Amino acid sequence: MAIERAGVVGSGLMGSGIAEVLARAGLDVVVRDISEEAIASGRTSIEKSLEKGVQRGKLSAEDRDAALARLHFTVDMADFADRQLVIEAASENEDVKKAIFAELDTVVTAKDAILASNTSSMPIIRFAQATGRPDRVLGIHFFNPAPVQPLVELVVSELTDPAVVDAMDSFATDVLGKVTIRASDRPGFVVNALLIPFLFSAIRMVEAGHATKEDVDLGMVNGCAHPMGPIALADRVGLDTCLFVGQSIYEETGDPAAKPPVLLSRMVDAGLLGVKTGRGFYDYSAT
């Protein structure tokens, strides 16, 4: 199936990024959110991102305008009726996501359409079971910022049709220009299952006073050739996101390496979430 019409549920940070990726790849894209205010914010984010692409010479003005013309925004889930692929990128709340998949199952008319979630850690099978087509459901996990980061994780549940996975693999690589890896439906999939314990270990080191955040980051950048230290990376991912993913992994596996550090929980309680709020472990208010 050649996918020409796609949908994205959610126009936040990840939803708007995914919608931009799809539109730039030539697809007709419907983006749905719960309010006109949310839609306006998502549209503005996409416009700014595309403009940056033009300024940096990564995108022509004509391609920018063409991508914007392919984007359509709505508050009505019924507008996904003719979509061949819908990617859910709503908030990381299992009940919310289940309800979205149940509704998508009723409004997306093509029975061969593919329904996907961009969740970073939740079990795909739970969303699949909310539909009458669990074989057509999988995880398509983009990384932030979606227009820049090359990786997409394809997450396969126990009921996902292998042909659907193959089709999405070809679509992500050949149409979207992404690099794909496949993961089983386990907490954290591949990347976060490795990354979160690493970030938490670094935070615990700072929490215990073994080293400063600056020295932890300098050590990994200059000693292990990492492009960014783990504390700075946690700020960039979002400390609330790190906390949520860690909690999800820990609750299902009991792995102590994924248990969130107390310091991380307290920072999230204080609203210090990293780059997106202007302050996390580091202060970004002047940048």
* DSSP E strand boundaries for the chain: 5-9, 28-32, 71-74, 85-88, 114-117, 137-142, 151-156, 179-184
Q: Is 170 a catalytic residue?
A: no
Which residue out of 20, 117, 121, 153 is catalytically annotated?
153
276 annotated to bind ligand: yes
14 annotated to bind ligand: yes
229 annotated to bind ligand: no
42 annotated to bind ligand: no
User: In whole angstroms, what is the distance from residue 1 CA to residue 112 CA?
Assistant: 9
33 annotated to bind ligand: yes
User: Is the distance from CB of 114 to CB of 84 less than 8 angstroms?
Assistant: yes
Which residue out of 45, 49, 88, 141 is catalytically annotated?
141
Q: Is 120 a catalytic residue?
A: yes
Nearest by Cα to 182 from 194, 168, 196: 168
92 annotated to bind ligand: yes
255 annotated to bind ligand: no
Which residue out of 120, 121, 157, 248 is catalytically annotated?
120
Nearest by Cα to 124 from 183, 76, 79: 183
User: In whole angstroms, what is the distance from residue 204 CA to residue 265 CA?
Assistant: 12
10 annotated to bind ligand: yes
Tokens found for residue 73 = 């925004």
The amino acid present at 147, given as its one-letter code, is P
Which residue out of 117, 118, 192, 248 is catalytically annotated?
192
- Please count the other Cβ atoms lying within 10 Å of the Cβ belonging to residue 14: 24
Tokens found for residue 208 = 């215990």
91 annotated to bind ligand: no
13 annotated to bind ligand: yes
Binding residues: 10-15, 33, 92, 97, 120, 144, 276
Catalytic site residues? 120, 141, 153, 192
Annotated binding residues for NAD(+), written as ranges, equal 10-15, 33, 92, 97, 120, 144, 276
